[in-house]
Every structure is written in structure tokens, then in C-alpha cells.
Amino acid sequence: MNTKVLLSLAVLMTSLYGFSQRGVRIGYVDMEYILENVEEYRDATEQLNNKAVKWKQEIELKQSTIEQMKKDLMAEKVLLTDELIEEREEEIQILETEMLDYQQDRFGPQGDLVLQKQLLIQPIQDQVFNEVQKIGGNKRYDFIFDKSADVVMLYSEKRHDISDLVLREIGRTRKVSKSNKKAKEKNRLDKFKEDQAEEEKEISEALKERQEKADQARDAKTKAAEDRRAEQLRLREERKKAYEARRKKLLEERDAKRRAKLEERKKAQEQEKDSIQE
């Protein structure tokens, strides 16, 4: 029995002697029993054990590969140069080091298995501690021990075991917490729906405003296009009128020149006729 246990027992006996005049109320809990009866812990432990099996298989596969490489090297050694032998041995050594590091990372004292087990147990231990504080105060216990802790119980009667009481209190606390959580989730859901409705309203108004602006822009664009077409028609009409005016003027000038030539020719003929008659 180590010093810590002896010291704990000495403190316990001294305390019991001090309470002997009025009677002592003692209880204990079995943490292992509690853990076995917490569903979340069982499920998480099963998943962790499955991970551990997978890690072990990976290590065994690495070990098998290394052993096969050693056998191959031994069989081929007579055919290899010293340089090749050294390279193969170095490769095997690297793989062995990697395998040992992996094994330590998974199953070592600070490995994933130990750390994840601690992460699983810690929340439940905290819950047990909180419930034990409540039960100790409400039931007027003088001492409550953990049967699976370092303080060894040399004898205990079953009537002092409050593990089931702790489990019931944990379940009740979780129900209250779950109920409060549901209420919070409902409030959060209602708030989310309100925010979503408000957001949809804002989005609808924004879309409506955007649509109005788009319609206005489309109308403005249509009007601008119509104005451009009207201007083009006006310019085309003006060019047409100008062309007709020039054409009319050219025709008039041409007719005037033709008439002038006819007059000159007529005068010339008359002069020639007069000249013959003379």
C-alpha cells in the first residue's frame, strides 16, 4: 500500500473518530460502473476501440512489410553490391523508425488512445463531481468516496453505494439541460424565422426596387432608341429634300441651257435665211 493511500486512510480514520459521537453518513460511487452505464461514453468508447483496432492493423501491416523486406534482402544479399546492401538496410531502418514512431503516437503514454480516453472520461467525471456535490449536500453525507480511485476501500456495504443515484441525477440534469436546449433552439429557430422573413422582405423590396430601376432604364433606353430613330428619319428626310432640290435645280439649269441653245440656233438659222434672201 503506497504512501498516498496510507495518508488518505489516516485522514479518513481521524475524521471518522471525530464524527463518532454523532454518527457518520458515508457513501461511495463506482466510477467504472457509472461509465459503463452512460450511453454516450459506451458509444464513443466503441468508436475509439474500432480506431485502435484499425491502428493496430496498420502497425501489423507495416511490421509485415518490414519483415518481408528483411527476408528479401537476406535472400538476395549474395547478388548485391555492398552499396546496394547498405541502401536496402538504410531503407528498412527508416521504415522501422517510422513504424515505431507511429506506434508511439497511437498507443504511447501521450498517444492518441490515452488522450482520447481522457477526453471521453473528463466530461462525465465533471458531471459526477457536480452531482455528488448536490447529493452530498441534500442527503447530508459526511463522506462520499470513489471506489475506483486511489483510496482503497477494504470493505463497503452495498447500501452505501450511491452510484445509481448519481446516474439518475445525471439523467435528470441532462433532461433539464436538454429541455432548456430545446427551448433555446426553438427560440433560436423562431428568431431565425423572423430574421429570415425580415430578410426575405428586405430582399423582396430590394428586388422590387431593382426591377423598377431596370424598368426605368429599359424605358429610358427604349425612348433613347426611338429618339435616335426619329432623328435618323428626320436627317434622312432632310437629305432627301436637299437632294430633290439640287436635282430640280440641275434640271432647271439644264433646261435653261437647252432653251438658250435652241434660241441661239434659231437666231442663227434666221440670220442665215436672211443672208440668202439678200
Other CB atoms within a 10 A radius of the CB of residue 34 amount to 22
- Computed over every residue of the chain, the mean pLDDT equals 77
pLDDT band at 270 (very low <50, low <70, confident <90, very high): confident
pLDDT tens-digit map of 144-160: 888 776 654 544 556 66
State mean pLDDT over 31-50. 84
Best-predicted range by mean pLDDT (12-26, 60-74, 211-225, 256-270):
60-74
Of 3-17, 113-127, 182-196, 216-230, give the lowest mean pLDDT range.
Answer: 3-17
State mean pLDDT over 2-24. 49
- Side chain identity, residue 206: A
Choice between 214 and 257, residue whose per-residue pLDDT is larger: 257
pLDDT band at 185 (very low <50, low <70, confident <90, very high): low
Q: For 161, list phi and psi in degrees, rounded to 5.
A: -80, 115
Q: Label residues 153-171 b or e (16+ Cβ within 10 Å = b).
A: eeeeeeebbbbeebbebbe
Q: Looking at residue 181, what is its pLDDT?
A: 60
Q: If we measure between CA atoms, which residue out of 164, 146, 124, 131 comes closest to residue 44?
A: 124
Burial of 30 (0-12, 13-18, 19+ CB in 10 A): buried
Percentage of the chain lying above the pLDDT 70 cut? 74
Q: If we measure between CA atoms, which residue out of 162, 195, 176, 136 comes closest to residue 34?
A: 162
* Helical ranges in the chain per DSSP H: 3-19, 31-36, 39-76, 82-107, 112-138, 163-277
Q: If we measure between CA atoms, which residue out of 66, 61, 62, 55 comes closest to residue 107?
A: 55
Choice between 75 and 182, residue whose per-residue pLDDT is larger: 75
Q: In whole angstroms, what separates CA 66 from the centre of its chain?
A: 39
Of 74-83, 128-137, 205-214, give the lowest mean pLDDT range.
Answer: 205-214
Give residue 140's region: left, alpha or beta (phi > 0; psi -120 to 50). Answer: left
Cell numbers for 224, please give them.
Answer: 433613347
